[in-house]
Amino acid sequence: MARYKLILAYDGSNFSGSQRQAGKRTVQGELEKALTKLGWTGRSILLSGRTDSGVHATGQVAAADLNWSHSDSDLLRALNSLLPADLVVRALEAVDAKFHPRFDAVSRTYRYRLFCQPLRDPLRERFAWRVHPPADVSLLQGAAQPFLGTHDFSAFGSPTTPRGGTVRTVMKAAWTQTGGDEWQFEVQADAFLYRMVRRMVFLQVAAAQGKVSVEVIARSLAKQAAAEFRSVLPAGLAPAHGLTLVEVEYRS
Amino acid sequence: MARYKLILAYDGSNFSGSQRQAGKRTVQGELEKALTKLGWTGRSILLSGRTDSGVHATGQVAAADLNWSHSDSDLLRALNSLLPADLVVRALEAVDAKFHPRFDAVSRTYRYRLFCQPLRDPLRERFAWRVHPPADVSLLQGAAQPFLGTHDFSAFGSPTTPRGGTVRTVMKAAWTQTGGDEWQFEVQADAFLYRMVRRMVFLQVAAAQGKVSVEVIARSLAKQAAAEFRSVLPAGLAPAHGLTLVEVEYRS
């Protein structure tokens, strides 16, 4: 028996999120179904964290204990032949038996894609948020700055555990232009609150559309102001389909 | 009553092609359904050409005769509110009553996207062909050259009408790199034979993978050689989901 670390990519459109739920099609459910056919008898695989319904991934990390007597590349091939088209194991390796994809992670990187257009765009909207009226992109770039560093993000989400803290450290938060009207937000933090990235994106876009002042973002990060700003902030979420979990980083 | 020229975009994944077919979900069928709700009573809209099941479009052109007493922008909004999420009218305008999207077109431009990877990629494969073993991209760029100009393309497809000719003029045929492992073929011609672009892409990729010699492409375009090469050419089609009808050009 060995513990395997698996790097997963999925198109989240047709999954009810990553975590197993009875009667729903989930990433965990599909992966456990495939593993079971290869002799896996565990109760539950481990995931680095939960992604919501509709959120995509290119670098979700899972762990599973498996008796496998052939090569790693054989296992990769066997698993992928059993998984559906919208879920793939990109890589795998045997790791220390104590490896935990969530507790051992030192940071996570997410990417959020958007484009500014007045009309629907069927070829892009599966993986990006269509924003209109257009965002002022110079404002967008400035809007990301206040997030950098260690802050109380309680205005941006709930803890992932009942009594969890709300202080997080953001190492990277930057917008880059990826096409004529396309922008991409890349954000890396030690961990994220529930729906934190989608709230961060929503608020930045509201600022870049002139709906709120950019200063609101900086003020919303002050611990004492969180409760106040929670009621002031536009209470919205950028849609799930623009979000992708890109990478989970571990101490090597 | 006025004739309207409509520019359509669609994600072809869930359409059985562009042309109306009884009992199938098609682009024409969905568009006619929406137009009917706005008072359209014609027998059939006109399309610039047929796209196969799974082929996408950002610039398909349609024409429909409609009694509409409000503004063009009102019509655009009304139509799009009635169309499904994977089909949009990007623009429309009233045109000459004799305008025909197919017969008046002077050229068509298609784009074919591919990427070279050994493993599935759920976030890219909806709109691009995953090629493996990887194509030698220097060969790919050279492989497009012989197509330029006027040739008998009978080795690359069937005429779109029973006794139609097979000579076509290609004004543009070029590969460009659009990402680390991503390539895009853009091809413009006065008209295309049935499935011509997908056969062109398949043969070029076969050449770039070293499965056939690049010279075969040039020789396949000689009229007298067509019959011979038809049996020699790898008899394959690049998959529909990598192909997008980008634009149909008209004399202005």
The per-residue pLDDT for range A123-141, each reduced to its tens digit, is: 999 999 999 999 888 888 8
Q: pTM to 2 decimals?
A: 0.92
More confident residue, B51 or A230: B51
Residues B75 and B144 in one domain: no
Cα gap A137→A177, rounded to integer Å? 9
* Interchain contact, B80 vs A244, CB within 8 Å: no
pLDDT digits (tens, 9 = 90+) for A43-79: 999 999 999 999 999 999 999 999 999 999 999 999 9
Q: What is the pLDDT along chain A (252 residues), one digit of tens a residue?
A: 999 999 999 999 999 999 999 999 999 999 999 999 999 999 999 999 999 999 999 999 999 999 999 999 999 999 999 999 999 999 999 999 999 999 999 999 999 999 999 999 999 999 999 999 998 888 888 899 999 999 999 888 888 778 889 999 999 999 999 988 999 999 999 999 999 999 999 999 999 998 888 888 888 887 655 555 555 566 689 999 999 999 999 987
Decide if pLDDT at B226 tops 60: no
Asked if the model's pLDDT at residue B232 lies above 60, the reply is no
State how far the Cα of B83 lies from the Cα of B249, in Å rounded to an integer.
Answer: 25
Residues A184, A127: contact at Cβ < 8 Å?
A: no
> Is the Cβ–Cβ distance between B178 and B124 less than 8 Å?
no
* pLDDT of amino acid A226: 55
B52 flagged as catalytic: yes
Q: What is the largest CA-CA distance in chain A?
A: 60
Same domain, B58 and B182: no
CA distance A166 to chain B (A): 32
CATH code for the domain of A127: 3.30.70.660
From CA A69, how far away is CA A115, in angstroms rounded?
48
Q: Do B122 and A90 touch (CB under 8 A)?
A: no
d(C-alpha B79, C-alpha A18), whole Å:
36
Within this chain, do residues A83 and A120 fall inside the same structural domain, yes or no?
Answer: no
Same domain, A86 and A135: no
Interface test with B, best of A123, A243, A244, A245 (most B CBs within 10 A): A123
CA distance B161 to A22: 53
Clarify whether residues B90 and B112 are in a common domain.
Answer: no
Q: Residue B30 pLDDT more than 90? A: yes
Are B91 and B167 contained in the same domain?
no
CATH code (residue A16): 3.30.70.580
Q: Assess whether B144 and B208 both reside in one domain.
A: yes
Mutation target among A58, A72, A75, A120 for the B interface, most CBs of B within 10 A:
A120
* Domain containing residue A36: 2-95
- Among A189, A184, A152, CA closest to A171: A189
Which residue, of A29, A64, A95, is where some domain finishes?
A95
Confidence band (pLDDT; 50, 70, 90) for B218?
confident
Pair B208, B143: CB distance under 8 Å: yes
CB within 8 Å: A85 and B120: yes
Q: Give the end of a domain, one of A49, A69, A95.
A: A95
Last residue of some domain: A43, A75, A95? Answer: A95
- Residue in this structure with the two tokens 């359209």, named with its chain if needed: B40
Nearest Cα neighbor of B221 from B195, B196, B194 is B196
Question: Do both B118 and B233 map to the same domain?
Answer: yes
Q: Is B115 exposed, middle or buried (0-12, 13-18, 19+ CB in 10 A)?
A: buried
Q: Following DSSP, what letter does each residue of A109-158 receive, concatenated?
A: EEEEEEEE-SS--TTTTTSSEEESSPP-HHHHHHHHGGGSEEEE-GGG-B
- For residue A164, the tally of other CB atoms under 10 A from its CB is 12
pLDDT for A29 equals 98
Whether A41 and A121 share a structural domain: no
Which of A58, A85, A122 is closest, CB to CB, to B85? A122
Instruction: Judge if B146 and B86 occupy the same domain.
Output: no
